[in-house]
Chains A and B, each alone.
Chain A
Amino acid sequence: MQYDVIIIGAGVIGCATARELAHYNLRVAVLESGSDVAEGTSKANSAIVHAGFDAKPNTNKAKFNVLGNKMFEPLCRELGVPFRRNGSLVLAFNKADVQELENLLERGKTNGVPNLKILDAESLRACEPNVTPEAIAALWAPTGGICCPYELTFRLAENAAANGVEFKFDTCVVGFVRKDDAWQVQTADGRKFTTRTIVNAAGVHADELNNLVSATKYHITPRRGEYLMLDKSEDTTFTATIFQVPGPMGKGVLVSPTVDGTVIVGPTSEDIAEKEDKATTHAGLEKVKSLARRSYPALPLAKVITEFSGIRAHETTVGDFIIGEASDASGFFNLVGIESPGLTSAPALAEWTAQRIAQKLHAFKKPADAISTDTSAWPKTRELTPEALAELITRDPSFGRVICRCEEITEGEIRAAIRARIGARTLDGIKRRTRSGMGRCQGGFCTPRLIEILSQELGLPAESFLVSRKKAPRALIEEAAARDDQTEYDVVIVGAGPAGLAAAIAAHDEGAVHVIIIERDDAPGGILQQCIHNGFGLHRFKEELTGPEYAARFIAEVDKRNIPVRCGTMVRALTRDGSHHIVTITSPKYGLEKLHTKSVVLAMGCRERPRGALMTPGTRPAGVYTAGTVQRLVNMDGIMPGRRVVILGSGDIGLIMARRLIFQGAKVLACIEIMPKSSGLMRNVVQCLNDFNIPLLLSHTVTDVEGTDHVTGVKVSQVDDKLQPIAGTEQHFDCDTLLLSCGLIPENELSRAAGVEINPTTRGPVVTPEMATSVPGIFAAGNVVRVYDLVDWVSRDAEIAGKAAAKYAL
């Protein structure tokens, strides 16, 4: 797949440029290293639309500030984003300051800023009564404004996506290769994208990307600004944005209303070493307070609801916006050093850059009626009239359930934010799209509910949203990473249990480049995840590991090789297309997809023989489980199914569960085996039954299950050498749970449907010593072939299969 333009960075600059480019007949993608739009400077800044008197005349900053300021109002109206032209005031505290106001006025006029005026103390106080009496004059810039920078970024991105721009998150660009007339963009996780042009909108990292391709080197010093946010209140503190004249005490801080009714105070300005260091500091916040009190002596600290800091991309070699095509890297367009007034300049920078790219690529603009105006907007219930709100709730009751009481955000709004084209996948993502959690309780009440909704909408366990507020859960990242443009694979592996993991590693190491594992569970590891007992890996690693530990070693190797694992994804069909195999998969997020591959490794494992297959007579109450089901319930979900347990069958899982249930406080009355000897390993009989004096009744079976709703007991009889119950040998056990451990069956429905020949004895595919099945290009590994006693041998044979599958593909 080849793109015309790849934009790196989904901040306000990248998204505005994407939206402009979407107006042309171009194939555009945005690659973002974070999990969401507006993850960098765009989410933490002063949110000011500057008038333009501050920038040095004849610089890019001056030019694009004034242009951007004019474009802001119509843009925000089009996108439905809040914007208010509240005007800016710069306060002067002494004569030197007043002289500086004159300089700013002149500079502003030169830059083309309209209607600038100097106010005396009296007129200043007339319009802003809360301003300090120390202020003796002020510069009034009526074109200054305020907006919501992340809402703007989000709507720009939604509208770009509505017009065909693709967004790829958790995609960190690490390199470029110039190939013929195109660029190959390489990512940290080994993906490659081909494009004719590149837009470098990587914020604080834009210098690093430029320096990879150009001999003209830039250097960005991250400059941190700390802020305080004050709660909404009835008395509006200020109408305008209050600046201070830059003086010996530094650049000064601003105090400004926000479009959301809160008050923002800050920022400090501190050059720091680390580009992602967004910590706030005691010293920084003290500085914000003391500087803010110069303008606003009554600064009400009791109203502070949060503090935060943002990083500005301060470029030190040029000191201006660095824009346009790099002179020695054809098709590489820079947007480097976009610090203040970057937000204001964004619409103008985007338009300018898009025009230059369109020229270079000879693109033409789509007709106006072919351009969507959609921004995935949803109703903001707090802005509706009571009648409109009542009507909305009647149509969709979820808009009647308030989740965030501080900001009055409803469930309907939150679900809409998750379901948008570029939907929220994190707590922060919801917060910035809806304001849920941004109010005075800062998420204290709504967080558990938000997690519940995220978990439902995205089909992931609630815990996965607690790992990070801003990084999407691992499963989503892996899913997204697996969804690069690659639909042609060398080897597709079905199942991420021990066999699938080992096969993937071996296939990769044999030289297969495009290997992918498809897994229907939420996490890799297969059945090992629930096998918390030890005894795994004695042969492989010469030490005794538990199941999760054994799996983790292989998962780490898979991760190291950047082999994608698509969890929550089910293989539906395996078909042929000439020499290729087509693997049809479905997932909640992406629906149905078809992967083309040269070879396939089947590693679906096995399932337990259920009660029905045993034909045990009796009632059909609750309380009868296969051993593996209980193993998962107890070990992974923390649920105990019963207290008095009888185990039918002495397979290894049954034996191990006998001990597990004892450890969890249950009583295990007996283990019943129809054969004259246990089918489990000797060490399990000793360590799981004998250690705890659990009787093992050989040549016995369950002849009756009692209980209507729930198991109340079982009858057990001795069997003869034809395995038939012997009359008169019945004994009764009062139990509430019957566990079945009566054998495992290889899971081969998919194999059969693909035409793979099955061995009727093992119930697995007929395989060669290379683990090739009867269908060319389809290999099999692990318990899908035959039920193994030891995982060590599964790994060994799966490596043979993976290697052979890679050889076949290459």
Chain B
Amino acid sequence: MDDQLNVSGASCPRGVEYGKAEVTDPRRTVTALANMAGMRKPLCVKTAAPIPKNKIFDVIKEINHTTVIAPVSIGDVIIEDVAGTGIAVVATTNIK
């Protein structure tokens, strides 16, 4: 990548976009564990969209401090706006 944001070495258009974003606004989809009330088993979740990379630990902290009551289904919104990113956190598994 040069100063003009010309990306080289990408093998697909998605790669070009990814390369540009890595420089201008690097983002990550965060997957983590929230707590299930009354169970040792944790609940796996993800951010519904990539969040800014510098917010990863704020997001993780908020998720780790969230407790959910069963039942939960894939796609259920666990946090509506995580760490002020405007992005939701959703469940990625079903717990009955």
Contact = CB atoms under 8 A, between A and B. Distances in A.
A665 B46 CA distance: 17
B92 A663 contact: no
B70 A466 contact: yes
A533 B74 CA distance: 14
A549 B94 CA distance: 9
Given A546-B46, A548-B92, A532 B39 contact: no
Contacts of A234: none
A639 B42 CA distance: 9
Interface string A510-549: 0000000000000000000100111000000000111011
A637 interface: yes
A99 interface: no
B33 A533 contact: no
A552 B95 CA distance: 12
B66 interface: no
Contacts of A466: 70
Contact of A638 (B29, B32, B41): B41
Interface in A616-667: 634-639, 663-665
A691 B92 contact: no
A229 B94 CA distance: 37
Given A532-B44, A636-B41, A638-B40, A546 B70 contact: no
B56 interface: yes
A665 B33 CA distance: 12
Contacts of A388: none
Contact of A687 (B28, B39, B96): B28
A463 B41 contact: yes
Interface string B34-63: 000001111010100000010010001000
A663 B60 contact: yes
Interface residues of B, number: 24
A467 interface: yes
A637 B53 contact: no
A664 B31 CA distance: 11
A642 B24 CA distance: 36
A534 B46 contact: yes
A638 B67 CA distance: 13
A463 B69 CA distance: 12
B85 interface: no
Contacts of B41: 461, 463, 636-638
Given A638-B41, A691-B53, A534 B74 contact: no
A549 B93 CA distance: 6
Contact of A664 (B33, B44, B53, B70): B33
Chain A interface residue number, banded: 20 to 34
Contacts of B64: 663-665
Contact of B31 (A463, A467, A533): A533
Given A534-B46, A544-B29, A691-B28, A467 B40 contact: no
Contacts of A534: 29, 31, 46
Contact of B44 (A463, A474, A635): A635
A49 B39 CA distance: 45
B67 to A, nearest CB: 12
Contact of B92 (A467, A546, A638, A687): A546
A122 to B, nearest CB: 59
B64 to A, nearest CB: 8
A663 B31 CA distance: 9
Contact of B40 (A464, A529, A637): A637
A546 B44 contact: yes
A542 to B, nearest CB: 10
Nearest to A639: B40
B44 A548 contact: yes
Contacts of B70: 463, 466
A139 to B, nearest CB: 51
Nearest to B53: A691
Nearest to A532: B44
Contacts of A634: 33
Given A466-B70, A638-B42, A663-B32, A532 B96 contact: no
Given A634-B33, A638-B33, A663-B30, 13 more contacts: A529-B93, A532-B32, A532-B93, A546-B46, A548-B74, A549-B93, A552-B93, A552-B94, A638-B42, A663-B64, A664-B64, A665-B64, A691-B53
30 contacts: A463-B39, A463-B41, A466-B70, A467-B71, A474-B96, A529-B93, A532-B31, A532-B32, A532-B92, A532-B93, A533-B31, A534-B31, A545-B92, A546-B31, A546-B92, A546-B93, A548-B44, A548-B93, A549-B74, A549-B92, A549-B93, A552-B74, A634-B33, A635-B33, A638-B42, A639-B40, A663-B32, A663-B33, A691-B28, A691-B53
Interface of B: 28-33, 39-42, 44, 46, 53, 56, 60, 64, 70-71, 74, 92-96
9 tightest A-B CB contacts, nearest first: A532-B44, A548-B93, A546-B92, A467-B96, A638-B42, A638-B40, A533-B31, A663-B60, A549-B92
